[in-house]
């Protein structure tokens, strides 16, 4: 008689979006700083992350660090909700026939990331524009008050096609992000559970410490892999012109050299590292809480 395959529990599709939104509430100031650094052109001085944050607070107060938060939350409840929910569902279905390989999980993460990037593209445009508005000349500012009014203004001024600005680059970045962040999180988590650390002979267990270590490694991986696409995406979405990703890439390489692709890496990591840790820790705890509530409501068999 064959060994019975343990069925993977099912969770609500929206659970990942809620976890990502919770994380964004803590890390939004870092996201805002990263976008402003990436938006700066080659002729501009390159202030540090702390300098940008200090300037923002000095000019507009502490609340300025949360400029564009509504767009960030809209982004998480579209982009992250779809990419995490789709990946979890695909992983659950693949697990019905046994433990899926790392290659299949990475492929699932890529597909889920692409879907998330397409879904969250309008919110991404709003987020880039709202967080970078203060570093633009007054005549080029968008002046969106919140994500809803910004969405209405975007469609009214640029048409429905405006919602797809930078879609190709954004979808590419989303595929890279989900593969290098979500896919690698599962890889690091599984590997750490399977093999003890040889020097100190420490064996991880499926608990808070494991979630933090695995998500920190995933955040480092995701930041590095996605940096080039993230910089190009930011510049396209922040512009009102019609430059293609290739044109932006060629122009930036000519004017700034290849290292432009990692411009803002430090604030990107300082944002994505904590964001990844918080997102996965919140996600794991929400899943455990949901499983507890589900088991409490399910009557035991007699």
Q: How far is CA 249 from CA 109, 246, 252, 260, in A?
A: 26, 5, 5, 9
Q: How far apart are CA 189 and CA 177, in angstroms?
A: 17
Q: Residue 240 — φ and ψ, nearest 5°?
A: -100, 0
Tokens of 86: 């789709």
Q: How far apart are CA 142 and CA 154, in angstroms?
A: 9
What burial class does residue 13 get, using C-beta atoms within 10 Å of its C-beta: 0-12 exposed, 13-18 middle, 19+ buried?
A: middle
Q: CB count, 10 Å around CB of 282?
A: 20
pTM of the model: 0.81
Q: How far apart are CA 62 and CA 56, in angstroms?
A: 8
Confidence at residue 59, expressed as pLDDT on a 0 to 100 scale:
77
Confidence at residue 251, expressed as pLDDT on a 0 to 100 scale:
83
Q: Residue 202 — φ and ψ, nearest 5°?
A: -105, 130
CA–CA–CA angle 33, 239, 252 (5° rounding): 80
Instruction: Parse the chain into domains and list their residue ranges.
Output: 15-282
3-state secondary structure the chain: CCCCCCCCCCCCCCHHHHHHHHHHHHHHHHHHHHHHHHHCCCCCCCCCHHHHHHHHHHHHCHHHHHCCHHHHHHHHHHHHHHHHHHHHHHHHHHHCCCCCCHHHHHHHHHHHHHHHHHHCHHHHHHHHHHHHHHHCCHHHCCCCCCHHHHHHHHHHHHCHHHHHCCHHHHHHHHHHHHHHHHHHHHHHHHHHHHCCECCCCECCCCCHHHHHHHHHHHHHHHHHHHHHHHHHHHHHHHCCCCCCHHHHHHHHHHHHCHHHHHCCHHHHHHHHHHHHHHHHHHHHHHHHHHHHHHHHHCCCCC
In DSSP terms, 197 is beta-bridged to: 202
Q: How far apart are CA 178 and CA 184, in angstroms?
A: 9
Q: How far apart are CA 290 and CA 271, in angstroms?
A: 28
For 15-282, give the CATH class.
mainly alpha
- Helices 81-95 and 15-39 cross at an angle (nearest 10°) of 130
Tokens of 291: 């499983």
In DSSP terms, 202 is beta-bridged to: 197
Tokens of 268: 């990107």
Confidence at residue 168, expressed as pLDDT on a 0 to 100 scale:
87
pLDDT 10s digit of each residue in the chain, 302 long? 444 545 677 889 999 999 999 999 999 988 888 777 777 665 556 677 788 788 878 877 888 889 999 999 999 999 999 999 999 999 999 887 778 888 889 999 999 999 999 999 999 999 989 988 887 888 888 989 999 999 999 999 999 999 998 898 889 889 989 999 999 999 999 889 888 776 566 788 999 999 999 999 999 999 888 888 778 877 777 666 667 778 888 888 888 887 778 877 887 788 788 999 999 999 999 999 998 887 777 665 44
């Amino acid at each position: 008689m064959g060994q019975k395959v343990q069925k993977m529990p099912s969770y609500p599709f929206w659970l990942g979006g809620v976890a990502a939104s919770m994380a964004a509430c803590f890390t939004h100031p870092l996201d805002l700083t990263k976008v402003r650094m990436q938006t700066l052109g080659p002729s501009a001085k390159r202030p540090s992350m702390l300098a940008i944050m200090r300037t923002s607070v000095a000019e507009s107060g502490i609340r300025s660090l949360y400029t564009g938060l509504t767009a960030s939350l809209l982004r998480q409840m579209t982009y992250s909700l779809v990419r995490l929910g789709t990946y979890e569902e695909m992983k659950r279905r693949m697990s019905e026939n046994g433990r899926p390989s790392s290659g299949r999980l990475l492929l699932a993460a890529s597909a889920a990331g692409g879907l998330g990037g397409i879904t969250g593209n309008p919110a991404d445009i709003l987020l880039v524009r709202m967080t970078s508005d203060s570093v633009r000349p007054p005549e080029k500012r968008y002046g969106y008050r919140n994500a809803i009014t910004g969405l209405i203004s975007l469609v009214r001024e640029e048409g429905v096609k405006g919602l797809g600005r930078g879609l190709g680059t954004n979808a590419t970045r989303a595929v890279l992000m989900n593969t290098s962040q979500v896919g690698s999180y599962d890889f690091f988590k599984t590997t750490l559970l399977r093999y003890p650390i040889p020097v100190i002979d420490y064996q991880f267990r499926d608990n808070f410490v494991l979630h933090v270590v695995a998500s920190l490694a995933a955040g480092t991986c995701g930041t590095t892999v996605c940096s080039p696409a993230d910089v190009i995406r930011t510049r396209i979405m922040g512009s009102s012109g019609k430059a293609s990703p290739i044109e932006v890439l060629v122009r930036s390489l000519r004017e700034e050299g290849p290292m432009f692709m990692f411009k803002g890496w430090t604030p990107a990591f300082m944002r994505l590292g904590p964001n990844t840790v918080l997102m996965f820790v919140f996600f794991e705890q929400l899943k455990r809480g949901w499983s507890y509530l589900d088991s409490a409501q399910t009557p035991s068999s007699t």
